[in-house]
Chain A
Amino acid sequence: MHLWLIPAFPLAGFLLNGIFGRRASKTFVNAVAVGAVLASFLWTLKTLGALWPLEALHLERYFTWIQAGDVRIGFDLAMDRLSAVMLLVITGVGLLIHIYSIGYMAHEGGYYRFFAYLNLFMFFMITLVLAANFLLLFVGWEGVGLCSYLLIGFWFLRSSATNAANKAFIVNRVGDFGFSIGIYLIYLHFGSLDFPEVFQAASRQPVEAGLGPLTLIGLLLAVGATGKSAQIPLYVWLPDAMEGPTPVSALIHAATMVTAGVYMVARCSAIYTHAPLAMEAVALIGLATAFLAATIGLTQFDIKKVFAYSTISQLGYMFLGAGVGAFGASIYHLWTHAFFKALLFLGAGSLIHALGEQDLRKMGGLRAKTPITFWTLLAAAVSISGVPFTAGFFSKDEILLAAYHHAPWMYWMGTLTAALTAFYVFRAIFLAFFGEPRGWSHAHESPPVMTVPLALLAVLSLIGGFAPVSRWLAPSFPAAQGHHETVLVAISVGAGLAGIALAWWFYVARPGLAERVAARLGAFYRLVYNKYFVDEIYRAALVQPVITSSQQMLWRKVDVGWIDGAVNGLAARACAAGDLLRRLQSGNLRSYAAWVLLGALGLLLTIGVAGGAR
């Protein structure tokens, strides 16, 4: 089936644009970048059509990548229903975002570099979801991290951008540390890294009651997932990652890369279902992240930051779904989230493009100036709020129902979060599009190359939920319990609608009420507004001690004292020895010959005495 072609197209696009893009015209760069992703998308469709209905794993082995002793790691790609869903999201949404970027990045320097990085990202992301063993998945995992770093720091002349890029990279290292140890443990425990073997072996093992090897593996993999998918405690990099261009935020930091952690947990469902403790941890992390990030989202004024915290919160939902055993619902939510969150970011990008401003307090009344952006953003907003029969409604309710079946309090927390979500999203919409214009003069609607992808994504946000993703995936996962309960659905829908209504009340009906409430709440508001001071706590508790101890201990004592001392001491000894040996270098050829002779004699004696002449 030539699965390898799917990642090969973007790789070729990256190489072409990376090598020749600097001198090529924009048309060439566009054609290569968009064409590569389009080819990848079409090939995905063709492969999917050929393999339909894709009931079993389709594995393709290409070559042995690493062979050392008993360890054999192949370059193997595999496609099953899970990776098919991921591929459709990645290449489909990726394609729309590539097209959108043509308009968004039109006036930016480093045009070819941007598209080369985007294609490279597509390559690594596709490798990640197609990989048939943990090590190849790890390659994709690290590769998308690299591209994320490169694209966050795309405007590398801004120090805030480079700092954000460094932060994303370093925080992800913490997660990857756990992930790589998890991979070691998997090899230690199962003797293989190939997915089919590992998961078959895992499903034969008994369910662990306490802390066993499977639980340990599950927890370590979850550490990796919290890094990549921005969950507590490693979520801090994602809000800062908004320093990158908005299409990057949409593609990497909303639709695809950050969902890699969810994909990985779903992929390892065979391990997690046998490690209930690890699953519980995943669910708790997801729920806590969903709630806390939603509260922070309530108070932010930077439109991209609002959506960034929204992304964290929605990823928390997906982890909650995976943690309560509804892996299918989790991937379903990933699918719908890719549409409406990409749309939210692209719409925000369209506003930023129109105004050159991303502070909500300086927008307002943009409804008439940018109608397409308004209507498409509205579609995304109703979808994320879970208004019935939009995409978000189906997937969110499936997760909430599974959560109710697992533990009712999780359902109530999730429903509360849903209300908060609806509130902050519509708060952003109302602040931006309603009320009086605040501080902008020349707004204009974006060109069609940007609005057409917006419109397509809006359609998908509204009807994308009718794709029966979770039923299609059901055979891949252990059956999730939780049948449809109309009351619960009604409650969560009601919560969403209440959030929307409250936002209307606060920001349209009674402007100024929000400030008064914020002032009334005082200290609590400031706590949330400052994101619970998590960055400051990390700085004081982790970063500053490292810096201080590096300066005082490692630099002044270890480096200057021991390492430099040892190096300088060695150099001084070498000088002294050289000074001694210099006398040999007399320039007298005959004395050299005598030394050679002495050496030859020594060699002969060694052979004769020690080795024996025969």
Chain B
Amino acid sequence: MSAAGVPLSWYLVLAALLFTLGAAGFIFRRNIITMFMCIELMLNAVNLTFVALAYHLRQVDGLVLAFFVMVVAAAEAAVGLAIILTVFRNRASVQIDEVQALKD
């Protein structure tokens, strides 16, 4: 039964799909928290690519990279959520269109 494997490219296409979905969410959603979750979604898609290519190359390095992506994502989540908290405390809103201070 195990003979019926799946082509590796399917995994990669799935990753591409998830990445595109994440990008779409980042562009079209207005809630900062949701946008942040979309970033996590994109990171996960990239991780899937790393793991799939590690399988392709039969090397552990891709997994190490995926591991580091996870660690950095965790750190980023901690800081990012703290920033969101601060923004909310200052502006009482988590709508991205109301946060345009970068313009000035």
Contacts and interface: CB of A to CB of B under 8 A. Distances in A.
Direct A–B touching, Cβ under 8 Å: yes
A611 interface: no
Contacts of A587: 100-104
21 contacts: A585-B102, A586-B100, A586-B103, A587-B100, A587-B101, A587-B102, A587-B104, A588-B100, A589-B35, A589-B96, A589-B99, A589-B102, A590-B26, A590-B27, A590-B28, A590-B96, A593-B23, A593-B26, A593-B27, A594-B27, A597-B27
Contacts of B102: 585, 587, 589
A546 B10 CA distance: 78
Contacts of A597: 23, 27
A37 to B, nearest CB: 63
Nearest to B23: A597
A597 B24 CA distance: 10
A34 to B, nearest CB: 64
Contacts, number: 26
A588 B100 CA distance: 6
A64 to B, nearest CB: 41
B27 to A, nearest CB: 5
Nearest to A592: B102
Dominant SS at the A interface?
helix
Contacts of A594: 27
Given A590-B27, A593-B27, A585 B103 contact: yes
Nearest to A594: B27
Interface string A38-70: 000000000000000000000000000000000
Contacts of B97: 588
B3 to A, nearest CB: 28
Interface in B61-101: 96-97, 99-101
Contacts of A585: 102-103
A588 B102 CA distance: 8
Interface in A570-608: 585-590, 593-594, 597
Contacts of B96: 589-590
Interface in B1-47: 23, 26-28, 30, 35
A542 B101 CA distance: 62
Nearest to A591: B27
Nearest to B99: A589
Contacts of A589: 35, 96, 99, 102
B33 to A, nearest CB: 14
A50 B26 CA distance: 83
A28 B88 CA distance: 68
A597 B25 CA distance: 13
Contacts of B100: 586-588
A176 to B, nearest CB: 56
B103 to A, nearest CB: 3
Nearest to B97: A588
Given A588-B97, A589-B99, A593-B23, 7 more contacts: A587-B102, A587-B104, A588-B100, A589-B96, A589-B102, A590-B28, A590-B30
A588 B28 CA distance: 12
Nearest to B20: A597
Contacts of A586: 100, 103
Contacts of B103: 585-587
A590 B100 CA distance: 11
Closest 7 CB pairs of A and B: A587-B103, A587-B100, A587-B102, A593-B26, A593-B27, A590-B27, A589-B96
Interface in B41-57: none
A598 to B, nearest CB: 11
Contacts of B30: 590
